[in-house]
Structure 1
Amino acid sequence: MALNFPNPSRSYDASRHCVCFWGYDNAREVAFQVSDDILLRLSHEAAAEEAALLATFDHHREQILGLARDIYTPGSRNTYTIS
């Protein structure tokens, strides 16, 4: 089964400067983090604050999920960073 993202939850982690979200490969949960830098590049108007970064993530969700699918390797790790 391919990596999928049935849960639309995402959260901002200020200590890591990233938005976190989760995907699933069968029953295996895989954590992803997309850095502030990537989100700021996607939206030149976004401020580096939580609400703006989450809004940018939401606006570009499909593109970000595509990047997550591209970097994911089944069975190799449980956490991936898009930076």
Structure 2
Amino acid sequence: MALEFPNLSRSFDEARNAIRFSGYDGMTQVPFLIEAGALPRSGKTALSEEECLTAFDAARGSIHNVARKTYSCGRRPFYTLTVADF
């Protein structure tokens, strides 16, 4: 089965300065984390929690595409997306 993202929920992880979200491969949940540094910044050097969530929502399609590509490279229990992935 292909990796899908039917659940639009996401949350900010303050300790890691990142956004958590999940995909699903059939019935299997696949957890992801995208570092704040990989989100579009609009010229800012740092983003608040609200700005990170807004940036994630605005770039959701491309983030999901990168997540699918990363997932297809090998199964792991958890995936972290960084600026290098984009």
Residues 31 and 79 of structure 1 are in contact (CA less than 8 Å); yes or no, is this contact kept in structure 2? Answer: yes
Ranges of 4+ aligned residues in structure 1 off by more than 4 Å:
none
What's the RMSD between the two structures over aligned residues?
1.6
> Where in structure 2 are the equivalents of 1:3-82 lying within 5 Å?
3-39=3-39, 42-46=40-44, 47-73=46-72, 76-82=75-81
- For residues 4 and 66 of structure 1, do their structure 2 counterparts lie closer, same or farther at Cα, with a shift above 3 Å needed? same
For normalisation by structure 2, the TM-score amounts to 0.86
| Deviation string, structure 1 residues 19-49 (Cα, Å, up to 9, x no partner) | 000000011100000001101xx23245421
For normalisation by structure 1, the TM-score amounts to 0.89
Residue 69 of structure 2 aligns to a residue whose secondary structure is helix
Residues 20 and 32 of structure 2 are in contact (CA less than 8 Å); yes or no, is this contact kept in structure 1? Answer: yes
- For residues 22 and 8 of structure 1, do their structure 2 counterparts lie closer, same or farther at Cα, with a shift above 3 Å needed? same
What runs of 5+ residues in structure 2 fail to find an aligned partner? none
1:77 Cα shift? 1.4
User: How many residue pairs were aligned?
Assistant: 81
User: Partners of 1:28 and 1:54 in 2: how far apart?
Assistant: 24
AA in 2 matched with 1:2: A
Residues 33 and 80 of structure 1 are in contact (CA less than 8 Å); yes or no, is this contact kept in structure 2? Answer: yes
Residue 43 of structure 1 aligns to a residue whose secondary structure is coil
